[in-house]
Structure formats: structure tokens, C-alpha cells
Amino acid sequence: MAQRTVYLETFGCQMNELDSELVAGRLAELGYAFTADSDKADVVLYNTCSVREHAEQKVWSRLGDLKQRKARQPDLVVGVLGCMAERDGAGLMKRMPVVDLMCGPAELDKLPDLLDNAVRTRLSMLADDPASAGRVSARVAALVGGASRRSSTLAAAADSLELLDLSRSITPLDAGHRRSAYVRITRGCNKFCTYCVVPFTRGAEVHRPPQHIIDECKRLADTGVIEITLLGQTVNHYRFEHDAAVAVGGITQPQKGRSYKGGHRRDPFGGSRVTTFADLLHMIHEQVPEILRLRFITSYPRDFGDDVLEVMRDSPRLCRYIHAPGQSGSDRILGAMNRGYSVSAYDEFLARCRDYLDEPDKGRPLMLSGDIIVGFPTETDEDFDRTIALVQRSRYKNCYIFKYSPRPGTIAFDKMPDDVPEEIKRERNNALLAVQADISDAISREQVGRTFDVLVEGISRREHRKRGTDVKPGSGMVALTVGGQTSRAAVLDPEIDHSVQMTGRTEGDQIVFFDAPAQAGDNLVGQIVPVRITSAERLGLHGQHG
């Protein structure tokens, strides 16, 4: 079979970005080529998100556009990966016969075989009946299917998803270019917030063996990565009990998450036979010192122990950054969301984080970020006022604000009518955005006069625009677009270009712009350099290097 060229576009969260990277790595090893131009591909894959309807609509519209093309190019293979595939199942192929292949997020280890199967099936369909091939799906799928949550069989069988993580190909493409990477520590979620599809699409919470995680961090560090973000839906629930470890074929298997019981100041299961989240952070910090920045997302605001905060405080390479969604400022709504904590417990949690970690005088202010849903069923003006007050008290560096989107299959969808009108949702969304914008501005202004270590990412967008060069992050090929690529597109001429505006981030994830001599600019990419902040603007901090 001739070499196939793949276009892979990713929607949604960081977990999806990592999944795409792993899948792209496997496919590249198997001889597939990649393109950033969908029109030039023989295989079009969308790695999809179902968290809100809007994310799904984008994919429906992409699929709609492919209909015509498939008639012209009947050997084209179209695949839907990720949460939409899992959620919509066979219904998706029925609605869109243009789709040949579906693969849920908990089955991505099977993708190479599925794709091979789909390509061969299309070729034989074409040979059998060229006229109809453009209208008929190859119908290849791997989905967990609603009720069976994959990890229920974990103790008995090898977890092949773990093999996908383990086989992460840290390719020569990355070497030398890439400075930041994601590493998964847990998969799935056990929380069942009433609005959320994730427990259904990604399955039960599963924790990876600590040694696998540390080895992956080491391998990334060996290729020049200096910043790692650990990923988990409820990342602070991480815990690995060594006595209960199961090995299959010599490979230690991931472990199902257990619920926390008995207080949440400290992991009550801690001890020599258990690796807690705090232990894991400490181990990576000590054993992989080449990682100069270690962060984690997303924290569940309950069960976040003082043991974690102590490790963060005492480990200089752990970033002073916590993303801990509050979701609402009303106890009644938090209850209806099944979040499992009260507003006062959330306030207490953020106060505890600040107590341990907010050290602006040492140049290390704690930066918090949050998520809020507005317009959850039955949310009144009073509930919303409480949410505004929560956002004001929390002083997030940034906050992602979402209008409630009813998702079929979730508890809220089945039990709670979506009774807040769209225009009220929009008004609340805008009001909260304005509140948050003022807070973000104020926090930015507080940084003026401070000096931060900044990890330089590349030439700024403004500078690219000035030069007419191309920024192109997220061009659809995750594997090829992470890291320092942005600066490579602009060619600097030292005769003409005396200074160039660079951009980077602080450990608290604030964006910083600074000018560098043109000759130095490219060499700074991927370095951590001191920048003194001289002014603050809506889009970021401005400062002077050196």
C-alpha cells in the first residue's frame, strides 16, 4: 500500500492534545506522513470534544464540508476520534456516512489497526463499486460503549492504553525544538458532576504507575524538554498502592482510583507502600532536575492535601500555579452539580493555597485559575450574584467562563430542564467576563516592578504581523507544532532588524513581552531568562530582559 498522508486536527482539552500527539507518534512510526493542509491528505482525522455542544458543532460542520470532497476523492478515509465518537456511537456514522472510522478516547491504542483496516476497506469498496464508494462508510469502530467502563476489567487484563502512553515516541522532530510537554498521570474521572460527559467518555479514574511517569519525564528531559505539565481530570486524586500493583507480561498496570475517605488535609493512605500525589511531585522534582518547571492540571478543589502544598512550597521547580475550578458561588447550585464541596470549603481551600504558596516579595506570587459555569438549571439572579462574589474573592489570574450546555447522557440532561434562557446565560457570561477582566488587569498591574524568570516561547504575534511572517500554532498537526516552532518561521536579518519583540511565560502562566537584540532573539527561544516588568496591558506584561 502506498504511503498515506494524514491530517489530524484536535479540539478540546489538553488531554486531547496529548492523545493526538501519542496517536500521531504511533502513526508516524508505522510510516504515515503528516500534512497541515487538510486538502492534501488521504486520511482526515478529527480528535473531538463533547464537553459543550459548541465544540461538537465545529466537527459536524467540518464533516459536512467533507461530503463533496469524498465524492471527488472516494479513497479518502475520514475518522472521528475522542469523546464525540464515544458519546454518539453508531448514530454518528448514520448521520454522517462520510465517517469511515470511529475510535473512543479509551480505545486509542487500537487506532493504528483500525486505520489500516479502514484504508484497506475503502480501497476494496472502490474496486467493487467505484460509483457508490464515495457515499458509503467503511464502518470501522472501537468504542467502549455506555455502560461498560473500561477499567472494570483492569485487574484481569493488560491495560493496552498504558502501552500507548509507554510507547510514546519522542521523535527526532522534537529533539532540540521542543521545551514543553504534557505527561498523563491519571485517566478518566469518578466524580460524575451532573453536567459533565467526561466520566462517560473517558471512563473510570485510573492512575499510572509512578515509575512509568518518572521514566517518561526523564525521556522527555533527555530531548531538551524543560517544562512538564502533568495531566489528570482530578489530578490531585493521584495515588498508587504498591501492594495492590498488578503486572501483566512484566508491565506494572495502572490502578483504579479509590474514593478519598477520612479528611482531606493530607492523603490518609500515605505511607511507604503508597505513592501519593505529593510523593509523585517530590519524586519527579528530585529525580528529574532537568525539568525546570513542573505543573499540573486540573485540581479538584476537595481532597487537596497540605502535603501537596508543602511539596510545592519546598520544591523550587514546582510552579506556583493552581487551576482549581470553582464552577459556582452558590451552595445550592454546587449541590445540584454534585460537586461535593461547599462555597466556604472552596474559599478555605484557596486561602490555604495562598498561605503556603503566595510569596510575591520573593518574586513568586501564587497564580490561580478557575472555571465557572453560568446558567446551570434553576440558577437564579441571587445564585449568580454569589458566583460574582466568589470570582471577586478568588482573584483568579484568569477564569474560563462557560454557559451551561446540556449534554445528552449526563445526569443534569436527564433530570434538570435547561430552564435558564439563552439571553440570560449570555448576560451572565458577559457580566462575569467583565468582572474577571478587571481582576486580571489588577493582578497584572501588581506585577510591575517585579522580576520574573520567563520561559521564552518565540517571537511575539505583533512582531510576526509587522514582518508578515507566520505564527501558526495549532495548525492541526500537534506532533509537529509544539514548542519553539513559532520563531522559526520569521527570518531575521541582523542588518535591518535591530530588535525583536519576544514572548514567553512566567511560572504562574502570565504572558510576558520583551524586546531582545535581533541576533539574540532566536537563541533565546526555549531559555529561561530574567525579565523586569515595566508595564501591564490587557494582553500581558511588558518588560526588559536582563
> Please, which residue, 257 or 504, has the CB nearer to ligand SF4?
257
* Residue 373: contacted member of ligand 5AD, ligand SF4, none (CB under 5 to 8 Å, by partner type): ligand 5AD
Rounded CA separation 534/19 (Å): 39
User: Minimal CA–CA distance to 201: which of 474, 401, 77, 15?
Assistant: 15
**Contact flag: residue 404 with ligand 5AD (CB under 6 A):** yes
Distance between CA atoms of residues 116 and 197, nearest Å? 29
For residue 502, which amino acid is it?
M
| Chain residues 476-515 in contact with ligand SF4, contact rule CB under 6 A | none
Q: Which of 32, 346, 402, 513 binds ligand 5AD (CB under 6 A)?
A: 402
Q: Which is nearer to ligand 5AD, 224 or 340 (CB)?
A: 340
Based on C-alpha coordinates, what's the Rg of the chain? 24
- Residues 168-201: b if buried by 16+ CB within 10 A, e if exposed: bbbbebbeebbbbbbbbbbbbbbbebbbbbbbbb
- CB of 32 or CB of 300, closer to ligand SF4: 300
Picked from ligand 5AD, ligand SF4, none, the partner binding residue 503 (CB below 5 to 8 A depending on kind) is none
Among 151, 229, 233, 487, binds ligand SF4 (CB under 6 A): 233
Nearer to ligand SF4, 120 or 191 (CB): 191
Question: CB of residue 270 vs ligand SF4: minimum separation in angstroms?
Answer: 22
Q: Which range touches ligand SF4 (CB under 6 A), out of 26-34, 90-98, 193-201, 219-227?
A: 193-201
- Position among 137, 201, 299, 405 found at the interface with ligand 5AD (CB under 6 A): 405
Q: For residues 34 and 346, which CB has a smaller minimum distance to ligand 5AD in the complex?
A: 346
- CB neighbour list of residue 72: distance below 8 Å, 6 or more residues apart: 134
233 binds, among ligand 5AD, ligand SF4, none (CB under 5 to 8 A by kind): ligand SF4
Alpha-carbon gap, residue 517 to 504, rounded angstroms: 16
The window from 57-65, 135-143, 195-203, 361-369 that contacts ligand SF4 (CB under 6 A) reads 195-203
Nearest to 77 by CA among 122, 38, 32, 107: 122
Give the binding-site size for ligand 5AD (rule: CB under 6 A).
12
444 contact, one of ligand 5AD, ligand SF4, none, CB 5-8 Å limit per kind: none
Cα angle vertex 14, ends 235, 16, to 5°?
110
199 binds, among ligand SF4, ligand 5AD, none (CB under 5 to 8 A by kind): ligand SF4
**11, 12, 56, 14: which is closest to 406 by C-alpha?**
56
Binders of ligand 5AD among residues 325 to 344 (CB under 6 A) are 325, 327
Bond from prior residue into 298 cis (ω within 30 degrees of 0): yes
Residue 487 binding target from ligand 5AD, ligand SF4, none, CB below 5 to 8 Å by type = none
402 binding partner (options ligand 5AD, ligand SF4, none; Cβ < 5 to 8 Å by kind): ligand 5AD
Which of 414, 443, 431, 435 has the alpha carbon at shortest distance from 508? Answer: 443
Answer yes or no whether residue 51 interacts with ligand 5AD by CB under 6 A: yes
Name which of ligand SF4, ligand 5AD, none residue 192 binds, using a CB cut-off of 5 to 8 Å depending on partner kind: ligand SF4
Q: Name the grid cell of 266.
A: 493530607
Query: How big is the CA angle at 384 (ends 383 and 385), to the nearest 5 degrees?
Result: 90
Bridge partner list, 79: 45, 101
Q: Which does 545 bind (CB under 5 to 8 A by kind): ligand 5AD, ligand SF4, none?
A: none
218-235 in b/e form (b: 16+ CB < 10 A) is ebbbebbbbbbbbbbbbb
Looking at the Cβ atoms of 229 and 506, the one nearer to ligand SF4 is 229
284 with 234: CB under 8 angstroms? Answer: no
Query: By CB under 6 A, what part of segment 173-192 binds ligand SF4?
Result: 189, 191-192
Asked if 509 interacts with ligand 5AD (CB under 6 A), we say no
d(CA 436, CA 432): 6
Give, as ranges, the residues between 360 and 379 that touch ligand 5AD (CB under 6 A): 371, 373
Using CA atoms of 62, 67, 72, 73 in order, give the dihedral in degrees to the nearest 10.
60
Paired with 351 in beta bridges are none
Query: What is the rounded CA–CA span in Å between residue 542 and residue 376?
Result: 38
CA separation for the pair 190, 202 (Å, rounded):
10
What is the spatial distance between Cα 106 and Cα 452, in angstroms, rounded to a whole number? 40
Closer to ligand 5AD by CB, 32 or 404: give it.
Answer: 404
Binding partner of residue 514 among ligand SF4, ligand 5AD, none, CB cut-off 5 to 8 Å per kind: none
Examine residue 234 and tell whether it contacts ligand SF4 (CB under 6 A).
yes
User: By CB under 6 A, is residue 277 in contact with ligand SF4?
Assistant: no
Our finding on whether 396 is near ligand 5AD (CB under 6 A) is no
Total residues binding ligand SF4 (CB under 6 A): 10
The 283-312 site mask, x for binding ligand SF4 (CB under 6 A), equals -----------------x------------
189 binds, among ligand 5AD, ligand SF4, none (CB under 5 to 8 A by kind): ligand SF4
198 scored as a contact of ligand SF4 (CB under 6 A): yes
Q: CA-based angle 259:110:253, to the nearest 5? A: 40
Does 477 contact ligand 5AD by CB under 6 A?
no
Picked from ligand 5AD, ligand SF4, none, the partner binding residue 229 (CB below 5 to 8 A depending on kind) is none
Taking the C-alpha atoms of residue 57 and residue 46, their distance in angstroms, rounded to an integer, is: 13
- Are the C-beta atoms of residues 413 and 407 closer than 8 Å to each other? yes
Tell me which residues touch ligand 5AD (CB under 6 A): 51-52, 195-196, 325, 327, 371, 373, 402, 404-405, 407
Tell me which residues touch ligand SF4 (CB under 6 A): 189, 191-193, 196, 198-199, 233-234, 300
